[in-house]
Amino acid sequence: EYTDEEEEVDDVDVTLENAYYNAKGMRENGDISEAADAFDKILKMEAEALNNNEDNTDDEKQQKFGPWSYKAIKQLVKLHLLKTGNGQEAIRLYERLLDCIASPGCAGVSPNAVEKGVNGMLDRVSSGNSDQVLAKSVYDATLRVFHPSSGTCPNERLWFKTNLKYGQLLYEMNETNKLTIVIRDLLQKEQQGSSTNLMEIYALQIQLYSRQNDNKKLRQIFQKAMRVQGGIPHPRTLALIQELGGKMHMASREFEAAGKTFFQAFKSYDEAGDPAR
């Protein structure tokens, strides 16, 4: 049998759920301004409900976020990225989303949902037509929050995956000094880690040394990558390593080795369904 307090909590949750799906409907119908206002109201409604909960301690009464706030802020970020094109508002809201993730009121959001939400944001800002300065701001904010030792919400797995993607962005921006630092940080964390993660780091290093025409270091890392046992790297990662290894062999006039390596790269690209094949 429910107490009055439990029924009140359930009522609030139903109200928030209805408000959330109504706001999504507005966005899907193209009512962007109305949808933004509706999502914003969800944040105020949930914050008020959380602060009115008599079971909260004094510290918890200051909390501003809950599971519906997480969903609403995520939708607001997507709305500004994809609909309004307001990058500054998107990054402001994304930083608010990270605050939400780190708050005690967001315990109802599963780690998988957090990882999916963060990765979705990183993928959106890393797409070819995105503002690279905006993307960099998003990555910097994400890495600060999830840093394993100094973050407000330490998460080594998410920090590591984010840093890998950040390294790729820095490579595309030709920021080689910062990329070198990212690779160093990744290698320090991966000393006792998985073979799959090592291959991802080696792919970053090989791209860097290939661009710098540092064939000595390129050969060293390529040989290390080819000796890695176990792990299941993405076929695209393997293809990239093999393609650049093939180019390295060509530059050294090692034509037989180049032919074999290029053939392996083609097979890996084909397995990945990548047009680069």
CA dihedral (200, 87, 43, 145) positive or negative: positive
Q: What pLDDT score does 54 carry?
A: 53
**Can you tell me whether residue 65 is helix, strand or coil?**
coil
Q: What pLDDT score does 118 carry?
A: 92
Contacts of 70 (CB under 8 A, 6+ apart): 97, 100, 101, 106, 109, 113, 117
Q: What pLDDT score does 108 carry?
A: 74
In the chain, where the domains are located = 1-109, 190-277
Pair of tokens at residue 29: 């119908």
Mean pLDDT of 234-251: 93
Q: What pLDDT score does 8 carry?
A: 58
pLDDT at 61 over 50: no
Instruction: Report yes or no: 142 and 98 within 8 Å, Cβ to Cβ.
Output: yes
- Per-residue pLDDT tens for 91-140? 999 999 999 998 876 767 888 889 998 998 898 888 766 688 889 999 99
**Can you tell me whether residue 144 is helix, strand or coil?**
helix
Specify the pTM: 0.81
pLDDT at 55 over 90: no
Percent of the chain with pLDDT over 90: 56
**Can you tell me whether residue 242 is helix, strand or coil?**
helix
Category of 106 on φ-ψ map: left (φ > 0), alpha (ψ -120 to 50) or beta: alpha
Mean pLDDT of 57-76: 77
